[in-house]
Amino acid sequence: MEAAIQVLGISRSEADVKVINEGRAGVLGVFGGQEAEVEVSPLGSTAEMAKGILQELLDRAGFMTLVSIQGEEKGRSRLEIKGEDLGRIIGKEGAALDAIQTLTSAILSRKLHRRAYVSVDAAGYRDKRSEKLKRAASEAIEEALQKGGEVALPPMSARDRREVHLAVKDDGRASSVSRGQGATRRVIVVPQGEGEGGQQES
């Protein structure tokens, strides 16, 4: 493997290695031995690899979809899913989409022998969800200011809570904290300078 990598002039993380024959040691290190055989080829771009991994996952799951590359930013490959059954792929509040994204990132990281990040979207769901959360944060801020007290948003995922916290922080007129455990954890919005204050998330 190392010899092949040297011949190709690439690093280990840039090589796709397939073991054809693991080989075996001979008797007394001499008789009946068999050399190992490996096939080494250069990997494509990280985004191309991520696309291939995601497409294979969806194909094996029986979905009629097509994956496209939207770009690469700050070491993160952005992929978009289009096709049928997008509701099932997205899942409730994006839970299934998040799971697909996590699995794709994990497989890519294993192939590259380093941590890799992939952002997966389906028919623009994430942008639409982001806008919806920003509106919810804005409405909660207005209500908190009018009533002079805290406003609790419905329970949501950690990803969604972070989105709301950022929206509240950007507005500057209120602060937010997260309360509750597990599936009941939610964002609480309070007027600036009241309540617990400060943006908190875990």
What is the CATH number for 138? 3.30.1370.50
Report the pLDDT value the prediction gives residue 121, as an integer from 0 to 100. 97
Q: CA 108, CA 114: separation in Å to the nearest integer?
A: 9
Report the pLDDT value the prediction gives residue 52, as an integer from 0 to 100. 92
Domain endpoint, select from 92, 123, 154: 123
Does the pLDDT value for residue 119 go beyond 90? yes
CA gyration radius for the chain? Answer: 24
Does the pLDDT value for residue 155 go beyond 50? yes
| Same-domain check for residues 60 and 27 | no
| Same-domain check for residues 37 and 60 | no
**Mean pLDDT for all residues in the chain:** 85
Better-scored residue on pLDDT, 14 or 153: 153
24 Cβ contact list (under 8 Å, min separation 6): 32, 33, 34
| Same-domain check for residues 51 and 111 | yes
| Same-domain check for residues 131 and 186 | yes
Among 12-21, 114-123, 127-136, which stretch is predicted with the lowest mean pLDDT?
12-21
| Same-domain check for residues 101 and 152 | no
| Same-domain check for residues 59 and 101 | yes
Residue 50 domain flag: yes
Q: CA 93, CA 153: separation in Å to the nearest integer?
A: 15
Residue 198 domain flag: no
Could you report the per-residue pLDDT of 65-107, keeping only the tens digit for each?
Answer: 999 999 887 778 999 999 988 999 999 889 999 999 999 999 9
Domain endpoint, select from 123, 153, 183: 123
| Same-domain check for residues 151 and 111 | no
Does the pLDDT value for residue 36 go beyond 80? no
Could you report the per-residue pLDDT of 156-181, keeping only the tens digit for each?
Answer: 999 899 999 999 999 999 999 999 99
Domain endpoint, select from 71, 91, 123: 123
Does the pLDDT value for residue 6 go beyond 60? yes
Residue 202 domain flag: no
Could you report the per-residue pLDDT of 188-200, keeping only the tens digit for each?
Answer: 999 987 655 444 5
Banded model confidence at residue 51, pLDDT cuts 50, 70, 90:
very high
Rounded alpha-carbon distances, angstroms, from residue 166 to 98, 100, 199: 19, 24, 8
Banded model confidence at residue 7, pLDDT cuts 50, 70, 90:
confident
| Same-domain check for residues 56 and 14 | no
* Buried residues in 153-191 as b, exposed as e (16+ CB within 10 A): beebeebbbbbbbbbbeebeebbbbbeeeeeebbbbbbb
| Same-domain check for residues 24 and 51 | no
Entry pTM:
0.68
Report the pLDDT value the prediction gives residue 174, as an integer from 0 to 100. 95
Judged by DSSP in three states, 105 sits in helix
- Give the CATH number of the domain where residue 119 resides: 3.30.300.20
Task: Give the number of other CB atoms < 10 A from CB of residue 41.
Answer: 12
DSSP state of 27: B
Domain that holds residue 118: 46-123
76-83 and 117-122 as β-strands: parallel, antiparallel, unpaired? Answer: parallel
| Same-domain check for residues 116 and 66 | yes
CB 169 within 8 A of CB 201: no
Say how many domains are in the chain: 3
